[in-house]
Amino acid sequence: MGTKTPCALVVMGVSGSGKSTIAEHLAARLGWKYVDGDLFHPASNVAKMSAGHPLSDEDRWPWLQAIAGEIDRVCAAGSRAVVACSALKRAYRDILVHGRDDVRIVFLDGTQALIAKRLATRKGHFMPPGLLDSQFSTLEPPPPSERPIKVSIEPPVEAIIDDIIRQLELNSP
């Protein structure tokens, strides 16, 4: 059973789940544009995060709306994109998808222990100890009503990409 090819995939998950890596590899495999959601933060958000302050939902709305605007532009142009964006809450994903049936969520699912272990081995990356806890307490895993593509982050990258493509049920890229 093939399904309509989406114009955008939003790769979501907590910090350290591999969003950028998976989104970049998936975009390359599909021949789609890769979009790093972090590049859409306004300067005020970057300054706040750089000073070590967490973003509030109010800080996130313009950022999410900017990413949603990029998704709309890509889709309107007849192109396709894979977007890396944490999108931890349903409300965030609702802004990104805003009722479109041609945008799908890819949920990178991993245990807190696995992600903490991976973060501990990252070179040149610092994550405050409480941040992973806060990411998991904020996370609202997408329910079936959001039609997510849910994949485990335990296998190697190429196996994760294969799983996503299999779940997409695309007849061709």
Confidence (pLDDT) at 3: 58
What pLDDT digit, counting tens, does each position of 57-83 carry?
A: 999 999 999 999 999 999 999 999 999
Confidence (pLDDT) at 46: 84
Predicted structure pTM score: 0.91
Looking at the domain assignment, is residue 97 inside a domain? yes
Looking at the domain assignment, is residue 47 inside a domain? no
Looking at the domain assignment, is residue 32 inside a domain? yes
Looking at the domain assignment, is residue 114 inside a domain? yes
Sequence-distant contacts of 132-140: CB under 8 A, at least 24 apart = 132/14, 132/15, 132/16, 134/54, 135/14, 135/15, 135/86, 135/88, 136/14, 136/112, 138/88, 138/89, 139/14, 139/88, 139/89, 140/88, 140/89, 140/90
Looking at the domain assignment, is residue 83 inside a domain? yes
Looking at the domain assignment, is residue 59 inside a domain? no
Looking at the domain assignment, is residue 51 inside a domain? no
Looking at the domain assignment, is residue 70 inside a domain? yes
Range of the domain at 97: 8-36+64-168
CATH number at residue 118: 3.40.50.300
Q: How many domains does the chain have?
A: 1
